[in-house]
Structure 1
Amino acid sequence: MIPWLTTLSVCTVFLYNILLGSNYLALTQGVNFYLQQLNTLPIIENLSSAENIFKESKFNDLQRFSEVIRETDKLEGLFTIYRSLEDDRIYLEIASEQLNKNYLGTVTLDSGIGESGIYSGLALQDFLFYFRRVNNRIHFVIRNVNFRATSETPEHKALTRSFSDSVLYSVPIVSVSSQRKSLLINLNDLLIQDFAGLTPLLKSSLFADYELAENKSYFGEVNSFPENIEINSIYNFSANQGANLITVPDSRALTLKVHYSFSQLPENNGYIPRLADERVGYFITAYQDLSNYNTTESFVRYINRWHLEPSVNDAPLSPPKKPIVFWIENAVPLEYRDAIREGVLMWNKAFEKAGFLNAIQVRQMPENADWHPADVRYNTIRWFNSIDAFFAKAPTRVNPLTGEILDADIIVDANMVRSLQPEYRSLIAANSNQINQLLSSNHQGFCKVPNPKTSDDRCYGIESSLQAAIGATAISMMPNSALDDEKMQEYVHQYLRSLIAHEVGHALGLRHNFHGSTMLAPAELNNPEITHSKGLVSSVMDYLPVNLAPQGTAQGDYFPATIGPYDEWAIMYGYKPSNFESIGEIIPEAEKPFLEQIVGSSKQPELAYATDEDIWDINPNANVWDMSNDVLVYSQWQMDNARLMWQKLDKHYPVKGESYSQLRTVFDKILIYYFRNANLIADYIGGQSFRRNYALDVNNWAFVPTDLAKQREALASLNEYIFAEDAFNFSPQLLNQLAPSRWNHWGNPVPISRLDYPIHDRIYRLQSTILRSLLEGDRLHRLLDIELKTLLGEALTIPELFDTLQNSIWTEVLGKEELKSISSIRRSLQREHLEILLEMVLRKTDVPEDGRTLAWYELKQLQKAISAKLKKSGEQLDIYTTAHLEEISDRITKTLNASLLSR
């Protein structure tokens, strides 16, 4: 989400401090009284009451109400709006009872520029606000919902003095009507300024100082409905020296359209907030209950979910009174609408387990629809174009008091599918900077997971698109090297359907589950009888790679065709009606026993849950872009597939009449895929599993170290696929055909660096990234700790890791065979390994002291071996090898003899 203004919070009052176990009357006293307390306001001093506003003489000097609204069009609804089309003035009428009352505001970027993070359909802000009158002005105030206390208690008095609301804007009152008991403000004063916070957004995204030109900004369509008002503002920005934008004709000026929805907050609608549980992955609405001193936890957490009620009480399966309806925007291409529809409806399987029939419906937005896709009354799936976005996302608008989801709009960048069509063999321009960024990242890999606080959907989108492109490339390399149109259409259909199902899961309140891909054994992944019934994965809320079958195995589903067991279970937790609802209205705590019955199943392997903040750890069982319950086997399959694709490129590409630049792009794409899977294997070293289960028995641990045999197998695999001398064998013919694009125009600049393919640099960066991740301080500290957490002889030790790597990287020196010439790729790898050990000895990196002393020991052993080999080989070696080894020996000597100053 664009992180300009997250939901700002302000003081509100919440009456609730009845513990489970109180008498039945307390448990069933009702939601109505509970919701009434949500609108209780903190004390505001020195302000006239609403009744007195219309009696004060100071307002006599204001314009007469009738004069102000003369020759305007009147729009009645939640707020009455008066619009003068002649001079583009819009007045908002605020009734006395609407002052100090909670409303929900949502702000959407309706039109963008198609690059650099400024994209159509992005959700900019959502907040709870109220209008407050102070003298002759109206304050637009964001309400604080993070802290609450029981009304009319000492804690509430302290609350109102401890935390502040946020007064975002102050506008003058234009006129007051004592007869109508209402007042007017000019919406131009509020919304024809940078209300949406676009100026800082443009500065952070475009690195240019754009300023709002108010004289060029104006209102577009404006509507007022019984429960909401919808307003479009068109903003023009200018800069003396604008950003170098590709998509804008003149970068000194650009236009953005923002859609505002101000809506009634649901009250007394029977919605019951549902308590969150950390074993089930929902987005949550949390606040601190400052009245509660009786528990160790002062936070109250509700899951974010829609308000679903069965139309037939006590029926095992009932249609909801009001289903969740998604509208496919009329801008979505016709050929993709069926896949989108299927991806949405995939979730009805889960809702049936929760007792709802056809809980989700899909409708097509008419071509001549008289409503806007950003209208808060409609949940839409929108399509937009960009030159660099590559993402889909599903922002929701939530009642910040209860967690009730009120609106959701899924947006999909056309780039996610456009480049998968047969006429394209490349997805993204894999230029040098992009590859270098990937291959020089840390052990977690490029775009491992969005930051939980500032979710990077673009990062996810690039990886998702890469995975889809690899699948399309694999299809193109089937026998005869010809694309089958029908097969490609089915592939795109599977991909888009899975993508939409993932985003709809977010729209239903679900967070990522990065355990989702580990349900099936590798041998089961391409068995349709299993994947179409149980599912390919336990949850579509994972970041899922394309499922490519290994050589010799019939290809199954590339992407999930159904949601998984975890998805069904999570929806049951969030949406299944509790048995208390047949009795009457309840308070949230009364559902605890009912919810515990559901979440008690979390120990089942297919219900494992790990989300964004869980996977920064080294955990081979909870990761992104992995597949199966044995990632070690699966990743080896995929690297074998990558090698096969390279062989096909060597023998059959480029196709006659095709540019060499497409061959280069595909080669790089496969290299990224190869690295991605090698990186997953590295997570076995020092890895451990972590489950969010609660303590159940003595054998149920929170952490379980990765099996020693698996770690040793992972090291052997990395040696074979990454560090071995023959790991990367490309023919001169292939390397000499990897030419860059020579088109030079907007959107496709010609590289100014070397034109030929930098093969040494690419391989070095891949090997260096993996090697440094294996020897980084965090991993070494983990290995040292695990020795204390396992029985003797069951842990991979730092000495074994160091010895294994040194013996595989320095085979020419440490092996028994006669020393021969060392290839240039091996020399680069050996220098990098040496550099890592030297940095440890010289205390340039944060590693355990045992790691530093072992590095010193390994260097000593290496120096002895080099000296012996050089002495034995005499002058038989080539000058490359001789110079390489003598320089290595000299560096070791100087480092070991260095006199380090004490700290």
Structure 2
Amino acid sequence: MTIKKLFTILTLGFSITGASAFSLRADSTEKTKNDYEKIIKKSTLQREGVLNVYESEKKWYLEIPDTLLNRYFLTVTRLIATPSGFSMYGGEKLNEQTIYFEKGNAGRIFLRSVDYRQDAAEDDAIFQALEKSSQHPIISALDIKGSNEQKNTYLVDATDLFKKDNPVLSLANSIKTENKLGSLADDRSFIIDMRSYPINLEVQTAKTYSTSSPSVAVGSQTFTINTSMVLLPKTPMQKRLSDSRVGYFANKFILFADAKQGSKAYNFIQRYRLEPQEKDLAHYRRGELVEPKQPIVYYIDPATPKKWRPYLIAGVNDWNKAFEQAGFKNAIVGKEWPESDTTMSLEDARFSVIRYFASEKANAYGPRISDPRSGEIIESHVGWYHNVMKLLQQWFMVQVGPLDKRAQKMELDDEVMGELIRFVSSHEVGHSLGLRHNMGSSSQTPVEKLRDKAWVEKHGHTVSIMDYARFNYVAQPEDNIGLAGIYPRIGMYDTWAIQWGYQYLPQFADAFLEQDFLIKQTTDSLKSNPKLWFGGEGNGIDPRSQKEDIGDDSMLASSYGLKNLKRVVDNLVEWTATPNDDYTNLKDMHKAVRSQFNRYLYHVLKNIGSVYETEKNRNDAGAVYSTVPRAKVKSAVAYVNENVFTPPMWLYPQDIQQYINKDADKEILDQQEQMLNMLLSPGMLHNLYLKSLSAEVAYPLEEYLADITSGVWTPTVTDARVNAIKRSQQRYYMEKLDQLINPKGSKDNAVIGQAERSDIQLYAMNQLISLQRTLQKRATSSKAAIDKQHYEKMLNETRRIQQNKNK
């Protein structure tokens, strides 16, 4: 269906209440005309632009043309300067709203806020009902102080609109609540400046709030804030309806139609407007590369250290190869901020900027500001925290240290750090272009290929920069793989996703007609190249879609990762040494090593009890949901047995312990108990049991329990410390088995209750009986007195558990 008019004046900008209800009183015309002349005459500042600005007698006025009434403005409020210790930084967004001016009653101009959630065609009867249930709120009523009949303009006093607190043009309420900000101090809040440009108004204010934060001694905090009001296109860009098989950020709306028996939800993606010039349209249609009418430009914050700017710019420009697949050359460019141009402002919502924050946070992010009617991205302010470099250094040493000498120190060479900055820049810019994470992309590369020097250096270790696939930790030193096969890069998924979102399709009159073409295009692409799979954010049930992992086999990839991690531990004291260091580096990096060990473990664990989930269209072959095969889950249990239930003493060598004194035994035991809690939980066992009943490829519960028992009850070794940990682990296992066979007080939990009423108790009892035979043999054969006592006690415990079950 073709939508001729977007609901709530989205295209043409008509008031839903009707212009006649808001006509000005005739007897006020002469007075407002005289006030206009008086105010203009006394003004000490006049600026022309989309809205003319006047400062007169310490008040600020806006001149609103009649032609801009009911036209949409996107307002973006950002911090310029913040108090020390505040949770946000200069350049970060405080608020975003779409607004419009409307001629009101009693000589006023109303300012309304727009919330686009529902839509209908204007020639459908249901459109009338939708209008009556979706009125936009009035956020301010501005008195008309004067008018100019020749120019058809209205002069309003905007001083209080920007000076006072306002939920649309000031700090969002959630930010004030989070930071314990109270009321606005009117005597210490004021407008600093207003500047008007052809399509936007820029307003700088200083605002002082009371605060109840105990860290603020004076009881108030002052912020310098900028609000941009950008005029949106009169005719919005055509929407592009989203496809769940391609990862784009999207806006949602509900469509009502007379011809349908119910409403339907649609999503449309966020993307920049990228179009060929008219003279190049024929060339574009023939498949030739053309330059766009308006390229996408990202400026680098002048607060960025100069040595990192070229790498941030390179991270932007790297996307050009992706846009070439969409038919555009020189579509995106990174530039240094023109500091000599005083007409430009970093806070101006017309400019996309990579902002640099002097922050202890180790992070970066890539947001977008978009037109709510169409998803057109207006601008983006990528946030770059200074301490992201510390995180990069840790990742590089922990994952790549054994592969490259340049990673074997705390302060990386500028060239190396620059290249790390470059790939993070590409990732965040990808978000700002509209792309979501694709945490499943790394699973499309076979683990064996990650060790193939020629292959991985040519293709990269993941098909998408939008994954959290930091480095190729699978590669081993003997593979001699260079950085081209270790660093992430823009890959085939990224170029395909950009093509899907940014290809210019003028032959389709609306988004619904275009959708049929795009669905078929996506289906054909995925059929010919399954590696283009979009795996989502990594928060679901599919073990192929995880954060920080690589390769198509979590167990094999993690095993290779552990080999490198053990090499890192062997060299950590040397690699972390710096002059006058008090072993803080060693503590920090050992913590990073422990975290990496846990990442590998949890990549493996997600294979247990999970299913594969693949978004499908009706035209796609194969199932949406399928069970993880037995071999994969069995391999996951084997990994836990080998690397957790066998105490990982290598993580705590004496040459490190003598400087950091970690409680190794407690950390190991805590993790072992955590694993038993998860692996032997009634919910997990019930899940596995049901899968084994419904899928032939599933892991039988009896075999699963036997494999875990085998890992826990491995024979003692010569290391007394290891044996002590194993005995404690085995006692805890017996507690978990007792809880399965003799549950207490868990009937209020529906899942646990179902598990307890299932056959799981029978399987647990069978495991207990099997374990009795093992314990009887070991109690007899053990030579060490303490081992013999332990096995005899555990044997008695099995009898007690069995007796309690029979009561």
TM bucket normalised to smaller: 0.7 to 0.9
Alpha-carbon distance between aligned partners in 2 of 1:704 and 1:211, rounded to the nearest angstrom: 55
The amino acid across from 2:69 in the alignment is L
Alpha-carbon distance between aligned partners in 2 of 1:783 and 1:875, rounded to the nearest angstrom: 38
Alignment correspondent of 1:279: 245
2:749 corresponds to 1:826: no
Alpha-carbon distance between aligned partners in 1 of 2:778 and 2:83, rounded to the nearest angstrom: 63
Alignment correspondent of 2:264: 298
What is the SS of the residue equivalent to 1:301? strand
- 1:39-438 matches, within 5 Å, as 39-41=12-14, 43-44=16-17, 49=21, 52-53=23-24, 55-57=26-28, 60=31, 64-69=35-40, 70-84=42-56, 87=58, 89-113=59-83, 117-132=87-102, 133-151=104-122, 153-175=124-146, 181-195=152-166, 196=169, 198=171, 200-202=173-175, 204-206=177-179, 208-239=180-211, 241-244=212-215, 250=217, 252-268=219-235, 271-294=237-260, 298-311=264-277, 312-315=280-283, 316-370=288-342, 371-387=344-360, 389-417=361-389, 419=390
Structure 1 vs Structure 2 CA RMSD: 3.7
What is the SS of the residue equivalent to 2:479? coil
Alpha-carbon distance between aligned partners in 1 of 2:593 and 2:113, rounded to the nearest angstrom: 49
Query: Given that residues 42 and 160 in structure 1 are in contact (C-alpha distance below 8 angstroms), is that contact kept between their aligned partners in structure 2?
Result: no
* TM superposition shift of 1:852: 4.9
Alpha-carbon distance between aligned partners in 2 of 1:862 and 1:190, rounded to the nearest angstrom: 78
The structure 2 residue matched to 1:664, chosen from 587, 590, 598, is 587
Deviates more, 1:133-142 or 1:308-317: 133-142
Alignment correspondent of 1:587: 510
The amino acid across from 2:223 in the alignment is L
Alpha-carbon distance between aligned partners in 2 of 1:244 and 1:284, rounded to the nearest angstrom: 39
Which whole-Å deviations, capped at 9, do the CAs of 1:492-520 have from their partners, x for residues lacking one? 22321111111111121111111221232
- 1:504-523 matches, within 5 Å, as 504-523=429-448
The structure 2 residue matched to 1:570, chosen from 497, 514, 524, is 497
Alignment correspondent of 1:467: 395
Alignment correspondent of 2:658: 736
2:702 corresponds to 1:799: yes
The amino acid across from 1:774 in the alignment is L
Identity over the aligned pairs, expressed in percent?
Answer: 24
Alpha-carbon distance between aligned partners in 2 of 1:253 and 1:639, rounded to the nearest angstrom: 51
What is the SS of the residue equivalent to 1:692? coil
* TM superposition shift of 1:373: 1.5
Residue 828 and residue 64 in structure 1: after superposition, are their counterparts in 2 closer, same or farther (change >3 A)?
Answer: farther
- 1:551-630 matches, within 5 Å, as 551-557=477-483, 560=487, 562-578=489-505, 580-581=506-507, 586-600=509-523, 601-603=525-527, 604-612=529-537, 615-630=538-553
Residue 821 and residue 302 in structure 1: after superposition, are their counterparts in 2 closer, same or farther (change >3 A)?
Answer: closer
Residue 184 and residue 367 in structure 1: after superposition, are their counterparts in 2 closer, same or farther (change >3 A)?
Answer: same
What is the SS of the residue equivalent to 2:558? helix
Query: Given that residues 74 and 98 in structure 2 are in contact (C-alpha distance below 8 angstroms), is that contact kept between their aligned partners in structure 1?
Result: yes
The amino acid across from 2:562 in the alignment is M
Alpha-carbon distance between aligned partners in 2 of 1:170 and 1:393, rounded to the nearest angstrom: 37
Query: Given that residues 239 and 374 in structure 2 are in contact (C-alpha distance below 8 angstroms), is that contact kept between their aligned partners in structure 1?
Result: yes
The amino acid across from 2:234 in the alignment is E
What is the SS of the residue equivalent to 1:361? strand
Alignment correspondent of 1:432: none
Deviates more, 1:303-312 or 1:657-666: 657-666
* TM superposition shift of 1:540: 0.9
What is the SS of the residue equivalent to 2:733? helix
Residue 797 and residue 53 in structure 1: after superposition, are their counterparts in 2 closer, same or farther (change >3 A)?
Answer: same
2:494 corresponds to 1:524: no
Residue 834 and residue 655 in structure 1: after superposition, are their counterparts in 2 closer, same or farther (change >3 A)?
Answer: farther
Query: Given that residues 117 and 205 in structure 1 are in contact (C-alpha distance below 8 angstroms), is that contact kept between their aligned partners in structure 2?
Result: no
* TM superposition shift of 1:202: 4.6
Alignment correspondent of 1:774: 679
- 1:644-663 matches, within 5 Å, as 644-649=567-572, 654=577, 657-663=580-586
* TM superposition shift of 1:703: 2.1
Alignment correspondent of 1:489: 414
Deviates more, 1:674-683 or 1:764-773: 764-773
Alpha-carbon distance between aligned partners in 2 of 1:858 and 1:235, rounded to the nearest angstrom: 71
Alpha-carbon distance between aligned partners in 2 of 1:798 and 1:167, rounded to the nearest angstrom: 62
Query: Given that residues 837 and 855 in structure 1 are in contact (C-alpha distance below 8 angstroms), is that contact kept between their aligned partners in structure 2?
Result: no
Which whole-Å deviations, capped at 9, do the CAs of 1:530-583 have from their partners, x for residues lacking one? 4454343211111122223224222333754641111111111111223x54xx
Report the TM-score when normalising by structure 2: 0.87
Alignment correspondent of 1:443: none
The amino acid across from 2:624 in the alignment is A
Query: Given that residues 77 and 227 in structure 2 are in contact (C-alpha distance below 8 angstroms), is that contact kept between their aligned partners in structure 1?
Result: yes
What is the SS of the residue equivalent to 2:531? helix
Unpaired segments of 5 or more residues in structure 2? Answer: none
Query: Given that residues 202 and 210 in structure 1 are in contact (C-alpha distance below 8 angstroms), is that contact kept between their aligned partners in structure 2?
Result: no
Residue 296 and residue 349 in structure 1: after superposition, are their counterparts in 2 closer, same or farther (change >3 A)?
Answer: farther
Alpha-carbon distance between aligned partners in 2 of 1:355 and 1:203, rounded to the nearest angstrom: 45
Residue 75 and residue 809 in structure 1: after superposition, are their counterparts in 2 closer, same or farther (change >3 A)?
Answer: same
Residue 701 and residue 859 in structure 1: after superposition, are their counterparts in 2 closer, same or farther (change >3 A)?
Answer: closer
Report the TM-score when normalising by structure 1: 0.78
Deviates more, 1:839-848 or 1:327-336: 839-848
Residue 862 and residue 821 in structure 1: after superposition, are their counterparts in 2 closer, same or farther (change >3 A)?
Answer: farther
Q: Which structure's relative contact order is higher, taking Cα pairs within 8 Å and 6+ residues apart?
A: 1
Query: Given that residues 48 and 196 in structure 2 are in contact (C-alpha distance below 8 angstroms), is that contact kept between their aligned partners in structure 1?
Result: yes
* TM superposition shift of 1:236: 2.1
What is the SS of the residue equivalent to 2:380? strand
The structure 2 residue matched to 1:809, chosen from 712, 718, 724, is 712
Which whole-Å deviations, capped at 9, do the CAs of 1:100-150 have from their partners, x for residues lacking one? 332211222333457564233222332221123243544332113111222
Length, aligned pairs only: 784
Query: Given that residues 316 and 425 in structure 2 are in contact (C-alpha distance below 8 angstroms), is that contact kept between their aligned partners in structure 1?
Result: yes
What is the SS of the residue equivalent to 1:897? helix
Query: Given that residues 410 and 575 in structure 2 are in contact (C-alpha distance below 8 angstroms), is that contact kept between their aligned partners in structure 1?
Result: no
Which whole-Å deviations, capped at 9, do the CAs of 1:606-627 have from their partners, x for residues lacking one? 1101212xx3333221111011
Unpaired segments of 5 or more residues in structure 1? Answer: 1-16, 20-30, 420-426, 428-463, 739-755
Alpha-carbon distance between aligned partners in 2 of 1:865 and 1:200, rounded to the nearest angstrom: 66
What is the SS of the residue equivalent to 2:339? coil
Alpha-carbon distance between aligned partners in 2 of 1:875 and 1:530, rounded to the nearest angstrom: 54
* TM superposition shift of 1:656: 7.0
What is the SS of the residue equivalent to 1:686? coil
Alpha-carbon distance between aligned partners in 2 of 1:478 and 1:858, rounded to the nearest angstrom: 55
* TM superposition shift of 1:369: 3.0
Query: Given that residues 525 and 556 in structure 1 are in contact (C-alpha distance below 8 angstroms), is that contact kept between their aligned partners in structure 2?
Result: no
Alpha-carbon distance between aligned partners in 1 of 2:548 and 2:637, rounded to the nearest angstrom: 20
Residue 737 and residue 577 in structure 1: after superposition, are their counterparts in 2 closer, same or farther (change >3 A)?
Answer: same
The structure 2 residue matched to 1:683, chosen from 581, 606, 615, is 606
Residue 414 and residue 805 in structure 1: after superposition, are their counterparts in 2 closer, same or farther (change >3 A)?
Answer: same
Query: Given that residues 279 and 693 in structure 1 are in contact (C-alpha distance below 8 angstroms), is that contact kept between their aligned partners in structure 2?
Result: yes
The amino acid across from 1:396 in the alignment is R
Query: Given that residues 308 and 320 in structure 1 are in contact (C-alpha distance below 8 angstroms), is that contact kept between their aligned partners in structure 2?
Result: yes
Residue 465 and residue 199 in structure 1: after superposition, are their counterparts in 2 closer, same or farther (change >3 A)?
Answer: farther
Residue 145 and residue 899 in structure 1: after superposition, are their counterparts in 2 closer, same or farther (change >3 A)?
Answer: farther
Residue 238 and residue 854 in structure 1: after superposition, are their counterparts in 2 closer, same or farther (change >3 A)?
Answer: farther
What is the SS of the residue equivalent to 1:406? strand
